Amino acid sequence: MSSSPSYQGRHRVPGRHRAPRRGPRIPAGFRGGFVLPTAAAAALVVTTTGATVAESSPVHLDLAGTQAKSRAQSAALAEFDRVEATQQRELQVTTAESRAVEAQRIARSAERAAGAKKKVAAAAIAKAEAKRKNAEKWLMPIKGAVFTSGFGWRWGRMHQGDDFGTPVGTPLHAMSTGTIVFAGVQGGYGNKVEIEYWDGTVSVYGHMNSISVKEGDKVAPGDLVGTSGNTGHSTGPHLHLEIHPEGGAAIDPAPWLKDHGLQ
Ligand SMILES: [Zn+2]
């Protein structure tokens, strides 16, 4: 695109961007030029030369050597000070307000984060609690057991547990979470499994037909440990169940089962 003659012509005008003449003397504080920071004062734009620099400014101070102009300068300075002071106060208030708002925002954000953290922790606790409850629940070794003989003296000797009549081959389950501490044949018990549970209680299953665990195995509530039978000193297919709190002497299983929500 070629330059138009008028465009070039404008640039050929000498001193087009210089001040046409020197202005009056300006007070020291006025030197270097300044811009009043409010909209009202924005029009008052002065340089050391006294020339206007902001062509859009609606008011130009032409300070060409009269006393009136000196008074106008003082008035302008006073106005400048007043506006500046007002702005400074406003700025301080605004800064304080925005600090307060920011502090509130941070506090709310921290609250939300803490709330979320609490929820996660509560969920984890609930989950752990549910897991623990599940691990510590108690079940009967057999389903549909028929009580046939109780704990106590029987035919001149101590019967250490409860008997439950059940067909040979009925699945036998761990009563809770525990460890197999004995699995094998033992005298009158025939095939016998002992489980030590999480609370120290030991259960004994006697006269079993088959054993599906070995010593040291970990079991969960309901895990299969074998099947019921008629082995050892037994007069008919049944489960002989003993309960030994803390692994000590056998107790009457009936009240213990009741205490554990069984039977
Ligand atoms: Zn028995």
Question: Band of the pLDDT at 247, cuts 50, 70, 90?
Answer: very high
Which amino acid type is present at position 205? Y
The mean per-residue pLDDT over the stretch 12-23 comes to 52
Q: Take residue 263 and report the two structure tokens written for it.
A: 């039977």
Residues in the chain: 263
Tell how far the Cα of 147 is from the centroid of ligand 1, in angstroms.
11
Tell how far the Cα of 158 is from the centroid of ligand 1, in angstroms.
10
DSSP line for the chain = -PPPHHHHHHHHSTTTTS-SS------GGGTT-EE-SSTTTTT-EE-TT-----TT-S------S-HHHHHHHHHHHHHHHHHHHHHHHHHHHHHHHHHHHHHHHHHHHHHHHHHHHHHHHHHHHHHHHHHHHHHT----SSTT-EEEE-SEEETTEEE-SEEEE--TT-EEE-SSSEEEEEEEE-GGG-EEEEEEETTS-EEEEEEEEEE---TT-EE-TT-EEEEEB--SS-SSSEEEEEEEGGG-S-B-HHHHHHHTT--
Tell how far the Cα of 199 is from the centroid of ligand 1, in angstroms.
24
Tell how far the Cα of 42 is from the centroid of ligand 1, in angstroms.
106
What is the pTM for the complete model shown? 0.60
**71-96 burial: b if 16+ Cβ within 10 Å, else e:** eebeebeeebeebeeeeeeeeeeeee
How far CA 30 is from CA of 13, 55, 80, 102, in Å, comes to 31, 20, 11, 38
Question: Band of the pLDDT at 18, cuts 50, 70, 90?
Answer: low
Tell how far the Cα of 52 is from the centroid of ligand 1, in angstroms.
116
- Which residues are paired to 193 by β-bridges? 183, 205
Tell how far the Cα of 189 is from the centroid of ligand 1, in angstroms.
8
Tell how far the Cα of 240 is from the centroid of ligand 1, in angstroms.
4
Planar angle of CA 253, 255, 258, nearest 5 degrees: 105
- Conformation bin of residue 225: beta by default, left when phi > 0, alpha when psi is -120 to 50: alpha
Tell how far the Cα of 208 is from the centroid of ligand 1, in angstroms.
11
Question: Among 53-57, 181-185, 192-196, 255-259, which is the least confidently predicted range?
Answer: 53-57
Tell how far the Cα of 239 is from the centroid of ligand 1, in angstroms.
7
- Conformation bin of residue 144: beta by default, left when phi > 0, alpha when psi is -120 to 50: left
pLDDT in tens, 210-235: 999 999 999 999 999 999 999 999 98
Tell how far the Cα of 200 is from the centroid of ligand 1, in angstroms.
22
- Which residues are paired to 213 by β-bridges? none
Tell how far the Cα of 53 is from the centroid of ligand 1, in angstroms.
113
Quick one: which of 143, 225, 248, 124 has its CA closest to 177?
A: 225
Question: Band of the pLDDT at 47, cuts 50, 70, 90?
Answer: very low
Mean pLDDT of the chain: 82
Tell how far the Cα of 83 is from the centroid of ligand 1, in angstroms.
103
Question: Band of the pLDDT at 54, cuts 50, 70, 90?
Answer: very low
Residue 159 · residue 151 · CB < 8 Å: yes
What pLDDT does residue 73 have? 84
Tell how far the Cα of 134 is from the centroid of ligand 1, in angstroms.
29
Tell how far the Cα of 245 is from the centroid of ligand 1, in angstroms.
18
Tell how far the Cα of 213 is from the centroid of ligand 1, in angstroms.
21
pLDDT in tens, 104-118: 999 999 999 999 999
Q: Which domains does the chain have, with CATH numbers?
A: 5-85 (no CATH), 146-259 (2.70.70.10)
Tell how far the Cα of 122 is from the centroid of ligand 1, in angstroms.
46
Tell how far the Cα of 202 is from the centroid of ligand 1, in angstroms.
16
CA distance 36 to 81: 9
